[in-house]
Structure 1
Amino acid sequence: MLTHIRKESSDKIHFVNESPVNLIKRLREENGKGIWICGGANLIQQLVREDMIDCYYITIIPIILGSGIRLFGNADQAIKLRLLKTQSYNSMTDLVYIRR
């Protein structure tokens, strides 16, 4: 789990103190299935900058904010995506995209 708060790891949850980009690179070298990242704008922007996201799950929550942090910031390049599926629940909608 990536967090700014120092916590003790357990058998099922491991807390790390490394950059998200380095963590993903390290995990990709290990055996196992896909890597699921859930986070906010700062985390996403770091991974987008390094072109490390293959599948985007974007949840639309119907709250209008007066201001906030842009999810993708000012990306250096366009990333072409294809809508894979949508799902609505509890007034929210998930948009699932993969790279084209």
Structure 2
Amino acid sequence: MRKIKLYIAVSLDGYIATTNDNLDWLINFPVLEGVDYGYAAFLAGIDTCLMGNETYRWLQRNQEEWAYPDLTTYVFTRHANTLEAPYVKFFSGDIPALVKELKSGTGKDIWLMGGGQINSILLEAGLIDEMIITHMPVTLGTGKPLFGATISQQQFKLTNLEKYNNGVTQMQYSK
């Protein structure tokens, strides 16, 4: 069975973006030469990506070309019937039902890219198998949280911890 893997960066105070979707705090963070925080290895193990409409819109505004043409990408939106884009399948139905169907299919693992609303829906449905959370040593004070306030308590196990010389830590959790 395929796994749903949340791979995401978060501020120390739990935000994935500012309230106006600004990611400068992440994009402009000092990069260590030769360090990709496991991204290339992670990407090699997936063939499908899940994201919310706000995440998709941010990518559209901030990329010249679609960054994931080799992945099947599902964008969850309330207006699927009005949108078209290459490499993307828009979906406005029962999100947990679709994700269960994807998990039971064949292929590599599935990347849950976010945002917070989709993260919450899939966490609450018990569909997230692993979380790879890269903690950036930055506080934002306010913004868009990793998860919404309506999630219930769930237990995960820490399976890996990486520390980097620039203060970044990456924690991997699984059920």
Q: TM-score, normalised by structure 2?
A: 0.46
| In structure 2, distance between residues paired with 1:63 and 1:53 | 26
Task: Using the TM superposition, name which of 33-42 and 85-94 deviates more.
Answer: 85-94
Bigger helix share: 2
Distance 1:76-1:38 versus aligned 2 partners, 3 A rule: closer
Q: Does 1:14 align with 2:88?
A: yes
**CA RMSD across the alignment:** 2.3
Structure 1 position 97, deviation (Å):
0.4
Unaligned 5+ segments in structure 1 are: none
| In structure 1, distance between residues paired with 2:126 and 2:145 | 18
| In structure 1, distance between residues paired with 2:172 and 2:123 | 16
Q: For residue 139 of structure 2, what is the aligned residue in structure 1?
A: 64
| Higher RCO (CA-CA < 8 Å; seq separation 6+) | 2
- State percent identity of aligned pairs: 27
Other structure's SS at 2:100 match = helix
| In structure 1, distance between residues paired with 2:119 and 2:151 | 14
Q: For residue 85 of structure 1, what is the aligned residue in structure 2?
A: 160
**Mapped contact 1:48–1:75 kept (Cα < 8 A):** no
| In structure 2, distance between residues paired with 1:79 and 1:44 | 13
User: In the comparison of the two structures, how many residue pairs are matched?
Assistant: 96
Unaligned 5+ segments in structure 2 are: 1-48, 58-82
Bigger strand share: 2
